[in-house]
């Protein structure tokens, strides 16, 4: 009997793990059709990942969904998906989403609901780098830049991508530079331990993976 029970558990495990996410077709998710904005004269893409990607979505009402066709529009700061060949917005607010980066194999997690900062509102999405007591978040922005060669009347338009980092400490959400000085200031009570850690580790402050490790260590 014990072996039969264990065998059944192994068979059912994948289904139980997926039970918290409703697999498309879309069930009761409410969607709003949109017309994709075409940037025919702009080089590049307005999306975080240009190709449609698999991912998971959590709405503010607590419902979870799993998708094969997600894209995050950085120009509009909105998550979009495809249903029956049409591009859609979520009619109900999205609280958090995961999206798979096919190039790196990484799963990127984004959330909103963070305090308003600079020109960003509580509905703005930030990538979660570390959710620790002192959290680290990344904002990816895209804008259109114009340029033209000397003596030419042709204006070239290109999507320009910029990155900003923010810390969440004691409810205060503020922009930081991803460098040693800023991180030491956040963890001032652990300055000696952190200095020793950074001395013994080969850290690239331009790497999100390395920043995540530093915050994980410092939050212990």
pLDDT score, position 24: 43
Structure tokens at 81: 């998906």
pLDDT score, position 139: 98
pLDDT score, position 103: 83
Q: Is residue 81 part of a domain?
A: yes
CA distances from 38 to 46, 75, 89, 134, 205 (A): 10, 12, 16, 40, 35
Q: Indicate the number of domains in the chain.
A: 1
**CA–CA dist 41, 158 (Å, integer):** 9
Q: Is residue 53 part of a domain?
A: yes
pLDDT score, position 175: 97
**CA–CA dist 208, 200 (Å, integer):** 19
Q: Is residue 71 part of a domain?
A: yes
Predicted TM-score of the model (pTM): 0.83
Q: Is residue 181 part of a domain?
A: no
**CA–CA dist 15, 12 (Å, integer):** 5
pLDDT score, position 152: 80
The CB density around residue 166, as the number of other CB atoms within 10 Å, is 20
Q: Is residue 30 part of a domain?
A: yes
Q: Is residue 195 part of a domain?
A: no
Q: Is residue 131 part of a domain?
A: no
Taking only the tens of pLDDT, the chain with its 220 residues reads: 544 444 444 444 444 444 454 544 445 566 666 677 788 899 999 999 999 999 999 999 888 988 889 999 999 999 999 887 888 888 889 999 999 998 888 999 999 999 999 999 999 999 999 999 999 999 999 999 998 888 788 889 999 999 999 999 999 999 999 999 999 999 999 999 999 999 999 899 999 999 999 999 999 8
Q: Is residue 14 part of a domain?
A: no
Q: Which domain holds residue 45?
A: 20-109
pLDDT score, position 210: 97
């Amino acid at each position: 009997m014990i072996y039969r029970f264990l065998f059944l558990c192994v068979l059912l495990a994948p289904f139980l793990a997926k039970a918290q996410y409703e697999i498309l077709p879309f069930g009761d998710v409410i969607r709003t059709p949109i017309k994709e904005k075409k940037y025919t004269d702009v080089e590049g893409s307005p999306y975080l990942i240009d190709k449609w990607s698999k991912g998971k979505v959590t709405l503010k009402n607590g419902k979870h969904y799993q998708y094969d066709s997600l894209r995050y529009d950085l120009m509009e700061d909105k998550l979009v998906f495809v249903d029956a060949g049409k591009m859609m917005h979520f009619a109900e607010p999205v609280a958090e989403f995961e999206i798979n980066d096919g190039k790196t194999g990484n799963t990127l997690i984004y959330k909103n609901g963070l305090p308003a900062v600079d020109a960003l509102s509580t509905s703005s999405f930030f990538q979660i780098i570390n959710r620790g007591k002192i959290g680290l978040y990344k904002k990816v922005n895209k804008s259109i830049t114009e340029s033209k060669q000397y003596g030419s009347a042709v204006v070239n338009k290109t999507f320009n991508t910029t990155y900003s980092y923010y810390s969440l400490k004691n409810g205060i959400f503020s922009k930081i530079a991803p460098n040693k000085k800023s991180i030491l200031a956040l963890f001032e009570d652990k300055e000696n331990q952190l200095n020793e850690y950074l001395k013994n580790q080969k850290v690239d402050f331009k790497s999100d993976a390395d920043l995540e490790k530093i915050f994980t260590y410092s939050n212990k």
